[in-house]
Structure 1
Amino acid sequence: MNKPFDLPLSAHFDEEDSNTSTNPNFGSVLKARLSRRGMLRSTLGSAMTAAFGSVALTACGGSDDDSNPVPPTQPSETLLGFTAVAKTLADTATVPTGYTATVVYATGDAMFAGVSAFKNDGTDTGYDRRSGDCHDGMEYFGLSASGAPDPISNDRALLGINFEYITPQFLHVNGPSARPRPAGETDIEVDCHGVGIVEISKTAGKFATVQASTFNRRITGATEIEITGPARAHAALVTKFSPTGTRTRGTVNNCGTGKTPWGTLLTGEENWAGYFYRAAGDNQKRTANANVALARYGRSVTDAAAASSRYGWETSGTQDKYARWDMSVKGVSADGSDDYRNEINGQGYIVEIDPYLATSVLKKRTALGRYAHESAAFSKPVAGKPLAIYMGDDAQNEYVYKFVTSATWSQADATATDRVAVGDKYLDQGKLYVARFNDDGTGNWIELSMSNPAISGYATYAFTDNGDVAIHSRIAGDAVGATKMDRPEWCGVHPTNGEIYFTMTNNSNRRVAPTGTQTQVNAANPRAYTDIKGVSTTQQGNVNGHIVRVRENGGEPGASSFTWDVYLFGAESTASPSFVNLSGLTADQDFSSPDGLVFSPSTGICWIQTDDGAFTDVTNCMMLAAVPGALGDGEKVTLNYGTTTVTTPMGKKPTPNTLKRFFVGPANNEITGLCETPDGKVMFINVQHPGDDTAVTDVGDPAKFTSHWPGNSGYGAGGATARPRSATVMITKNDGGRIGT
């Protein structure tokens, strides 16, 4: 997750665009320049539309509208019956009137007995026993009173939480030191990454973490993990640490999550390439094939220029735990068993974790492909049918994927005690597909395997076997002509009709008339315009993002084709309805850069979260509640940019009853991650990196911090001048009802 239009200090390596393939785009159009304030910046043709402890936080509201009840509701409930939250730049967390938000777990909080309270002054250490930083995707795993798995428990549970990356300026007394980095700082930063399993328990109606729980577990950037699936023991995974290519260390940049039908956590490794340093001239020590692969994954070098690393961990000393971050060829072996030239190939997967067993083996499931993984959403389990897992590659101009299991679903596996073994059954064998979106609202799933001649005979990169395809899924997608999309991030499956929703966050490289590596608009990514932020900041491309909706043909998870439309276009309400605000959003609904997307299993509400840099002169990032319809409920929109038009199937425009702003976070934040108690009465969301654009040079002056949340709301050390912290927030409804009603 990142903000390519307005990058924070810690996210400069996230704006990746390494897809230089010539894969097709549907509707070619000419350049459109449009201010989101609604002013047309050039002479263009017209477009036609046919068609959630201890501290309570702020509550406020705007207009109030009743919604049309949509199943599954309970008697006397009205979905989206709350008062919409207004846009705000306030450094607080805002929920509707009648709701309370409470911080329950923040960066640095102790997770184990004997760990000291967090001082929040840059002197804290031992993050392998504390909450990590930048809370992201999250899942709820119920526990019975006896400590057994209980999927319907509303009073005791485990939260599986991703810690995506770090805000280094706040982790150290004076911010991060210059390179070479001190070993102590690097140790903190590596440990701040990864995943946390933390027990929560309800007392007097409110949840709090259980510090002494035997279930608590911290997985960091140094934790040993097993490699499974088709890439296990592959030559491209051989390292000094694992000469057999069967193990690696650490999981980093964990973003979205998934919850398997058998009760395990899936965590996606997203923007991991920038963690590795590669020396100038390293290309001369590698094969042409290897250099193609490294360039495609964002680590190209020249004879004069190196690929610098994001945090400089490789500069902290000669110990193996630091040397592993330098992926340059340094040894003399032919296979890479005496250095870390292949270390990068151990990152970029979906990792499976059994949250109920703190000593369980962690597994990277390579069959699901290697790219900038976000969430992993499962199709509705049906006995006797395979499972489909839907995924996106979060980088500009990357692809949408699905994995179809070879094994068919058995309901007995839902309660199996050896959950990792069940994962072996479903996640190590199957078929990986990439999506091609056709301009007529249809699409195809194209298999990525050596049985596809387009892959086995690809001239740009010589694939050797299916393990190679799994490790280099992006290149395989290039080979088969997959559709370049506008940063596919989270996805979710509608609990009733099984349709799949993919967020396309934004794309600063989308153009109507592209030059260089820019990408032309197409039917599934039809907008390219100029937006003016504030007084004079110009932003171009698909600035505000959109959400694509997919229906498998026949409702079958293993279908080879699908239909699609654009469910929602992000926009400011005052933007031109002809080119930008195509969904007709009002002031209570407008948003930019959809990122997280989760369907409530209780109410069916679709929760949409934003990670934005384009609209932040007007409002902090937010979360909206939606009651979506079904694919095909709208009409087509035709954008006429002068000499060329592009036509896109679009969902029905939302009403005040079907889309409404529910939450706005503190300053410089991202809203991400969501899970609920089974009864839908308690929601947990994450507020990531508040104040992350505070300059390192300003760390010594709290008056210059761009956020002080949640300290300024009374949580933890520091008070009104606290260093900001990422945190998990609990939201409850004051009358005890279900969230969003």
Structure 2
Amino acid sequence: MLDQSGDRTGSGIELPVLPSHNTARSALTCRYRCGDACAHDAPNRSLNPYFGDVVKRALSRRGVLKGAAVIALASGAAGAATAPAAAGQGRPSGWRSPRGLDFAPVAPNTADAVVVPEGYGQQVVIRWGDPVLTAAPRFDARKQSARAQARQFGYNADYMALLDVPHRRDQQLLVVNHEYTNEEIMFYGYDPAAPTREQVETAWAAHGLTVLVVREDGRSGRLWPVVGDVLNRRITATTPFALTGPAAGSALLQTNADPTGRMVLGTLNNCGGGITPWGTVLSGEENFNQYFANAAAVTDPVAKARLARYGLPTGASGRKWERFDDRFDIAKEPNEPNRHGWIVEIDPYDPHSTPRKRTALGRFKHEAAEPRLTRDGRVALYMGDDERFDYLYKYVSKHAYKKGHSRAAREHNLRLLDEGTLYVAKFTGDSPSTEIDGTGNIPSDGEFDGSGEWIPLATGNVSHVPGMSAEEVYIFTRLAADKAGATKMDRPEDVEPHPYTGRVYVTLTNNKDRGATGKAGPDEANPRTGNKHGHVLELEERHRNAAAESFRWRLMLVCGDPEDPSTYFAGFDKSQVSPISCPDNVAFDEYGNLWIATDGAALGFNDGLFAVPVKGSQRGHVKQFLTVPTGAECCGPIITRDRVLVAPQHPGETDGSTAENPGSLWPDGPGSIPRPSVVTVWKEKRR
């Protein structure tokens, strides 16, 4: 917990409470990850009604891991740790853990290490700066260069995918995106007011994605990078991307460097993602706005409003990239920001292919791009817009997915994300508005629940939003959703369909402004004012068909301290659950259990990875599997039969930290700077 001085009790590292941010995250994190988004008003100032204003008639309500191994960004021997179970978290007499969840929960802590349950091993798979491509040099924190970084593992991994490699029995393909850089703790001698060209270009190279072949150790959960494999690839902030779909070529996407509006350099701030049925990887561009500068130079009122809705900085950017490339200066290239904020698709099996930005999926701060097939074989894709009071989206392709590995089938499938219908969600509660008072107290019917609809925004070249063309809907999707009357949510982040039931799980990370003066108040889908701990929503579409335009929903978890009366764990006994705050990335194991990674836990402890059954007598029984080091966020995760992977992102990102004065020594120990990494965790075999 936080004591009155702002220290995390027992951590030994000062983490001051900063009222200007009003978040558990450090000011350093806020500055480099999202451009201090939480210190400013949310960009959504629309007057569309929120769901507490409308009460519809009540609906009837009815309601891939063995041994819990995890692939994570883990520490080396110096940073590894095993923790005992939390007090009061022991296994009740007569209970059996659900399949895949037979571990003693890790206690909340502030250790500068990856802490895993007793009986589990861990290993760092790859660190920021480790070689990926042939001729990549060994990492040297004091001799970094853009040339070296473009061949090394990037910074701050977020989404990860693990794919089979055909005809290679003991190898797999690890695809990882790199969300953002934190130059103050990356570079010795960094001056935020005067970065050097080499530092800036190195940061460009540290963004993007990595495709890496890894070799499995059949006797444990260890994974080893295969440096220089022909499939290995680095994609950066300067890699060419093709714009595809209905908005490609629009005048709103054209720049001096690209008068066609069809070819973009680079991808920025990649966050959640997904794997398509045809074997490509999707990745969402999230807080892209912070990289641009000088929006105040735009005077046209329509263009100005569009920039404001996406939170573009009016003055200089935090990283000062506009000093080194005109594309980051809105005064010189007003359309360049429109070329970011998309879902990108890469083919990890073809290192020479051109990555694509899919305009049919809309432009916003993308979190997640998880697919599910409709009953007639089309592709439905679920996406969150990670901003306070922004929205949940779905895309359904026009054409069906074709099975098989023929060239014709592959070419057909690679066009599925270019033509379809883009939707936004509207939620309606079934309880009287007087019972949704912002306290988090459960309404009289016993659940936060109700109905909802998917509102179509555009289909192909046809707009469903009055006053907006189809290309405007795709490029300024937030404004289209405002007009459509979508429900303002508490930062929708990862969205994941259940592999067996088809139910869709949505993490709402937090929203400090819910119920604040002049802001949307509580509603049944977002029931707490000043929501600092977040919640998890469960959505079931009509007839369990991903093409349906209506759904039922309920809140499965209302997160926080179990002793807080505003929390809810699907009706499970709260005295037996692990505290959980700020749910972010999610994944399922092969038994259908939900695994939740947290970001910004506001309970005074480190972030971590949690598991919870979604059905049966232990539905809602949250158990903490691991914690990540000081200042880090838990990213990934991947849950397989043999291991769990997580990516501890931005370790040591605490206020006042620099390369000279690191806030964490993970994973390399004394004398090093913190290095975001990927970690694998496995259950040790009994002798």
TM over 0.5: yes
Q: Any idea what SS the aligned residue of 2:252 has?
A: helix
> Does the CA contact (< 8 Å) of 1:10 and 1:166 recur in 2?
no
> Does the CA contact (< 8 Å) of 1:392 and 1:400 recur in 2?
yes
Give 1:685 shift: 1.2
Alignment partner, residue 292 of structure 1 = 305
> Does the CA contact (< 8 Å) of 2:75 and 2:666 recur in 1?
no
Give 1:127 shift: 1.1
User: 1:472-621 residue pairs with structure 2 within 5 A?
Assistant: 472-511=476-515, 514-516=516-518, 518-528=519-529, 541-577=530-566, 585-586=574-575, 588-600=577-589, 602-615=590-603, 617=604, 619-621=605-607
Alignment partner, residue 457 of structure 1 = 466
Give the counterpart of 1:729 among 666, 679, 683. 679
TM-score between the two structures when normalised by the length of structure 2: 0.84
- Pairing 1:312–2:316 present: no
Give the counterpart of 1:59 among 65, 82, 91. 82
Distance in 2 between the 1:360 and 1:233 partners?
A: 20
Distance in 1 between the 2:659 and 2:384 partners?
A: 36
Q: Any idea what SS the aligned residue of 1:130 has?
A: coil
User: 1:87-126 residue pairs with structure 2 within 5 A?
Assistant: 87-121=108-142, 123=144, 125=146, 126=148
Distance in 2 between the 1:249 and 1:451 partners?
A: 25
Q: Any idea what SS the aligned residue of 1:711 has?
A: coil
- Pairing 1:685–2:646 present: yes
User: 1:325-724 residue pairs with structure 2 within 5 A?
Assistant: 325-328=328-331, 330=332, 340-380=333-373, 384-412=376-404, 415-416=405-406, 421-440=411-430, 441-449=450-458, 456-458=465-467, 463=468, 465-511=469-515, 514-516=516-518, 518-528=519-529, 541-577=530-566, 585-586=574-575, 588-600=577-589, 602-615=590-603, 617=604, 619-629=605-615, 654=619, 658-677=621-640, 680-695=641-656, 698-701=658-661, 705-712=662-669, 720-724=670-674
| Aligned partner letter, 2:30 | A
Give 1:507 shift: 0.3
> Does the CA contact (< 8 Å) of 1:442 and 1:563 recur in 2?
yes
CA, structure 1 residues 95+491, in 2 after alignment: closer, same or farther (shift >3 Å)? same
5+ residue gaps, structure 1? 30-50, 71-77, 147-152, 301-305, 317-321, 331-339, 529-540, 631-651, 713-719
Give 1:425 shift: 2.5
Distance in 1 between the 2:520 and 2:199 partners?
A: 40
5+ residue gaps, structure 2? 1-20, 55-62, 64-70, 431-449
Give 1:213 shift: 0.7
Give 1:210 shift: 0.8
Q: Any idea what SS the aligned residue of 1:501 has?
A: strand
Give 1:519 shift: 2.0
Give 1:408 shift: 1.6
Give 1:654 shift: 4.8
Alignment partner, residue 134 of structure 1 = 156
Distance in 1 between the 2:686 and 2:145 partners?
A: 38
| Aligned partner letter, 1:135 | A
Distance in 2 between the 1:416 and 1:140 partners?
A: 23
Distance in 2 between the 1:589 and 1:370 partners?
A: 36
Give 1:283 shift: 2.9
CA, structure 1 residues 178+451, in 2 after alignment: closer, same or farther (shift >3 Å)? closer
> Does the CA contact (< 8 Å) of 1:224 and 1:248 recur in 2?
yes
Distance in 2 between the 1:453 and 1:129 partners?
A: 43
Distance in 2 between the 1:722 and 1:269 partners?
A: 30
> Does the CA contact (< 8 Å) of 1:394 and 1:488 recur in 2?
yes
Deviations 1:112-167, CA, capped at 9 Å, x for gaps: 12222112346455211111111100001111345xxxxxx6x3111110100012
CA, structure 1 residues 422+374, in 2 after alignment: closer, same or farther (shift >3 Å)? farther
Distance in 1 between the 2:427 and 2:398 partners?
A: 25
Distance in 2 between the 1:173 and 1:417 partners?
A: 49
Give 1:247 shift: 0.9
Q: Any idea what SS the aligned residue of 1:90 has?
A: coil
Distance in 1 between the 2:226 and 2:461 partners?
A: 51
Alignment partner, residue 264 of structure 1 = 280
Give 1:355 shift: 0.3
CA, structure 1 residues 628+108, in 2 after alignment: closer, same or farther (shift >3 Å)? same
Give the counterpart of 1:6 among 25, 28, 33. 25
User: 1:169-208 residue pairs with structure 2 within 5 A?
Assistant: 169-179=184-194, 181-203=195-217, 205=219, 206-208=222-224
Deviations 1:304-337, CA, capped at 9 Å, x for gaps: xx33313111123xxxxx1111011x4xxxxxxx
| Aligned partner letter, 1:58 | A
> Does the CA contact (< 8 Å) of 1:486 and 1:545 recur in 2?
yes
Q: Which stretch shifts more, 359-368 or 7-16?
A: 7-16
> Does the CA contact (< 8 Å) of 1:4 and 1:15 recur in 2?
no
| Aligned partner letter, 2:612 | A
TM-score between the two structures when normalised by the length of structure 1: 0.78
Deviations 1:627-671, CA, capped at 9 Å, x for gaps: 1129xxxxxxxxxxxxxxxxxxxxx9856xx32110111101100
- Equivalent pairs, count: 615
Deviations 1:586-612, CA, capped at 9 Å, x for gaps: 475111000011112x23221101001
Give 1:24 shift: 1.5
Deviations 1:449-474, CA, capped at 9 Å, x for gaps: 2899995434xxxx2x2121111111
Deviations 1:13-32, CA, capped at 9 Å, x for gaps: 15262000112223369xxx
RMSD: 2.7
Alignment partner, residue 636 of structure 1 = none
Distance in 2 between the 1:136 and 1:683 partners?
A: 15
| Aligned partner letter, 2:666 | W
| Aligned partner letter, 1:140 | L
Distance in 2 between the 1:349 and 1:624 partners?
A: 29
> Does the CA contact (< 8 Å) of 2:558 and 2:566 recur in 1?
no
Distance in 1 between the 2:581 and 2:593 partners?
A: 19
CA, structure 1 residues 587+3, in 2 after alignment: closer, same or farther (shift >3 Å)? farther
Q: Any idea what SS the aligned residue of 2:411 has?
A: helix
- Pairing 1:251–2:274 present: no
> Does the CA contact (< 8 Å) of 2:580 and 2:601 recur in 1?
no
Identity %: 33
Distance in 1 between the 2:474 and 2:555 partners?
A: 29
> Does the CA contact (< 8 Å) of 2:588 and 2:639 recur in 1?
no
Distance in 2 between the 1:653 and 1:575 partners?
A: 20
Give the counterpart of 1:227 among 219, 239, 243. 243
| Aligned partner letter, 1:299 | L
> Does the CA contact (< 8 Å) of 2:155 and 2:178 recur in 1?
yes
> Does the CA contact (< 8 Å) of 1:162 and 1:254 recur in 2?
yes
> Does the CA contact (< 8 Å) of 1:241 and 1:248 recur in 2?
no
Alignment partner, residue 160 of structure 1 = 175
Deviations 1:174-205, CA, capped at 9 Å, x for gaps: 234423x3211110111111111011012463
